[in-house]
A and B are shown apart, each in its own frame.
Chain A
């Protein structure tokens, strides 16, 4: 195979911008060319990574307010002149003035509360979606790279100690797994710039990544989407650890494995494994 796909076609493939004919031709080529398939996958990963890295700068909180004021500038000016004209004839009693002030205060408080709640929930859901994308990307990259794990062992007594000094927390791994679930090894990785254990399991022929990270106050389990790009996601947490399992295996089997790992944290707490 000498005529590889040009870079612009591989880029457009990652962007979903090829016409039906171009896509058919590209797919045909990719089915016979591992080199181009690898590059196409790299383009997709790069696209996803630049998408995240590019979201870098946010406007200052008061900029939105200043900008809105400026947009409404003309209307506000008109409103002011109207009010100024009416001012000499206004006779507002002191109690009426207080009532207006209190109403305005309550109104402002209400607006602030609604805005705060909305921002908080929007920020939370965006963060959860970003986390789901990141863990799926890591899982896909692991599948695509097909490289050997940093620690290869099916023995939990080998895998767990390997993380000593690499993570700011410790964890336990479950014993007596069903016969078709095997521990393949583990990697040290980073999710949202925080050190994370990536435990690699197989359930039958399906590969599973289980990410264990130190739990923070802002992140608990159960907020993540349960599915992303065809992969099932199961999250669990203990008082110290946040765990996220991702795989294309049946959701019930994934939940079963996640449940066993979750249980191992409490059952074996205090027991060296």
Chain B
């Protein structure tokens, strides 16, 4: 009975040789899986309403929108942000709403994203350099956040401040602009229903190079007015001096509304190249949003308040 004393092994229990020889791959594979599970899961975006504004426009592709950016915090070439923005940590992240308001609050980004219903808006984006895109943003109207903060009677302007951390934003090691990046709007511009706080793009979270985790979008103004990676929103009494106004006051005004009749001192603004198109197209006053926003500037000399 010698044969019976050896434990019986069913053929199904024997690891096939091919699998056995790949045991190391199996081990590294399961290790990688365990690591992934251990990483803090990036909070997915809550549900959002499909296209509420701007439907019917053909949007630029994900690649176009995420590989051609002006975000000097990551370098001054258009390709730099996509290359360098990996060093930005977007969690944990807070946005401090402060200044002339009754209810200042430091918002956690995930709480902020859930506080207001998200909606998709397909907006045209016109850069001061003469190119443009159509972008399907995901966000909420800034007006809702402002309503919660309850600005006081002294609040006439809103200031937006971008993160200032040269460790995360390598472009800030170099004084291309006076850091941190500051932008501003008049209170009525900030509460205009078109003004959006964006947290996503194409139904996904904002990529870092597009201003993650939260950015401003003001579609009737040149792109630089829409501050990215915002950490502070302040209600102020006096007109803020934006980063570009400080850098070149003759070239960049506070309003910076898209206007084909008011040239940049060094180049024409009459036409623009839509990324992906061969021929240039005519630039429209207020980037084509005149019907909605022209009343904000009634009686103003747009050449003087450029």
Q: Is B a genuine binding partner of A? A: no
Interface of A toward B, CB cutoff 8 Å: none
